[in-house]
Structure 1
């Protein structure tokens, strides 16, 4: 069932480190998109997805949505403990098209279905725009709809009332023309329990060429409330370096919902791995995923992987750091966080 109004402010979106019941993913199957659009071989991208899914499945259940045309391949690469859910889909970015799960102290678990328009109409989305509702129906959970065009990769929350997003995504005319910050913040407050929205510039001049227009999960990620891992580059003269500086400046000036300034931990990008033939190569180590007891880390087979793993180990004591090679996925513009979506465990712990 889909509800278009949710006036109970007790609903909240837990932080990613809250215990999960499962991780949701969508299997890549659209050969034209990957091979003609991104210049990568679909079979190799599928191997990357399977590596991520199988790594997560060591720590928690994985629910993999699979287009009926690709079930045989998914079965061949995914472990037996990964649940395959047949459903016709356009693409494979579950972070963006899937539901954002929310919790209520009395009513339990539900989900938000954002108005998904494929990052401002950049790709076919007639099937993916209903993915969140289908996933929530599969679980028998309430679905809260909204007219706000948004993607899961555009928001990070700390579970204590703070949300970080970027102006280049949510204020973009290709998403929400004429909608103000105040109106967006009201929606975040009502649906996600957010009391403080922090706006970063993102990528306003589109210097990266990233089809998301500057998702926050390529800029920074929470380690815990008040502590952020931030994407950093050693190439101080590049156009991307200016994007990094401006986003970092905004974070340095910001205060979270509890009034805290942020401790910023630099996580240098995998610049040596970048394939110059790629239209967009996702080299951001901040695009990791927090699973139960683990950090699933993007890896590229370079020395920088080890440095990133050390930083993440210090930021997440007690969690196993699991590097997963994603060179082909990265060549297609994505990372580990882009293809995963956490389903919180209920009742919520902590």
Structure 2
């Protein structure tokens, strides 16, 4: 369980919010054929996301040596390719959660990784990926005994952590941990002062209800959350339970949390059982927001929501059907390294 060694919080580190300045973005080039019906189409979609992010900030793409030539052909010269062994393509979850201190020193909070409760094998290279990235970045590494993924948390950079009941306390990850112990470990590793628990989504079986498909901080005291207005939505009650759990909450600084509701993409765009329709699963980068485009009317409504939330950032829409079919979205395939 929890370690007696010094933690990031002990050393004055805290995870910045995603909307804080980045040094760069990390991604992992798709390679696990069992996840993608058309691996080459998915690679083209990854390249489109990478190029969209590169318009705003530097981007490093981890790539297996055997895939380098194809990656170079699609990515060009403005994206750094880094040879690192790995098993899958979800940088949000296998990558490190970077933390910084008051002097600007950078470190990496490294949780254990078991492929979302042992859903895919092998995963040993993904489990080592965060430490390898930290070493490349020259970041001090702090290792946790908790099994957790970056997509399972959202932080405001001001001490507040948002997560879900269905994910880290799940028996497929941390059967020996109480919720209180997980709370304390998240605060210790991410430099937090308060953890807000949402019910999550037990019916979303790919990640067991990662928070980055449900609700995320978009500003201090402001959370973007999936709405529950569609009477035909089979997850309507689940979404309402998350809304109800967040209602009336305050952040670590005592600010009342304001919720901004956002729809999911229409079900007409869905391809397969794992298809990710979440607009919450977008990515905020330097001067921009990269959001999914599903080719439905909701794309336009959601763009307006992001324009209102981020008036000083350019909103970039990217077709992600060939990514979403694997169970995740733009946020799942990216991990920010803070400035």
Instruction: Please tell me the TM-score bracket, short chain as reference.
Output: over 0.9
1:227 is aligned to 222
Q: Does 1:63 align with 2:63?
A: no
Distance 2:252 2:153 in 1: 15
In structure 1, C-alpha distance between the alignment counterparts of 2:14 and 2:24, rounded to whole Å? 18
2:271 paired with 1:269: no
Structure 2 distance, partners of 1:273, 1:88, is 37
Does structure 1 conserve the Cα–Cα contact (< 8 Å) formed by 2:22 and 2:57? yes
TM-score, structure 1 length as denominator? 0.92
Residues in 1 aligned to 2:203 and 2:230: alpha-carbon distance in whole angstroms = 15
What per-residue deviation string (whole Å, max 9, x for no partner) do you get for residues 15-61 of structure 1? 00111000000000122332xxxxx2001111110000000001111
Residue 336 of structure 1: aligned partner: 330
Confirm or deny that 1:143 pairs with 2:145. no
Q: Deviations over 1:236-274 (max 9, x none)?
A: 243311110001110103221122222111111102443
**Rounded Cα–Cα distance in structure 2 between residues aligned with 1:162 and 1:201:** 17
Kindly tell me: are residues 107 and 344 of structure 1, through their superposed partners in 2, closer, same or farther at Cα, counting changes over 3 Å? closer
How far has the Cα of 1:110 moved from its partner?
A: 0.7
Contact 1:287 1:336 in 2 (8 A): yes
Residue-pair matches, total: 334
User: Does the CA contact (< 8 Å) of 2:48 and 2:318 recur in 1?
Assistant: yes
The runs of 5 or more residues in structure 2 that have no matched partner are none
Q: Tell me what 1:23 maps to.
A: 25
Cα separation, 2, equivalents of 1:23 and 1:10 = 24
1:198 alignment partner in structure 2: 196
| 1:316 is aligned to 2:310 | yes
Task: Answer yes or no: is 1:89 the counterpart of 2:86.
Answer: yes
TM-score normalised per structure 2: 0.95
Separation of aligned partners in 2, 1:80 and 1:199: 42
CA distance in 2, matches of 1:255, 1:325: 35
> How far 1:9 sits from its partner (Å)?
4.7
1:217 and 1:344 map into 2 onto residues whose CA distance is 18
Structure 1: how far apart are the matches of 2:86 and 2:161? 29
RMSD across aligned positions (CA): 1.5
SS of alignment partner, residue 290 of structure 1: strand
Question: Counterparts of 1:229 and 1:106 in 2: how far apart (Å)?
Answer: 30
Distance 2:5 2:91 in 1: 24
**Does the aligned pair in 2 maintain the 1:4–1:146 contact within 8 Å?**
no
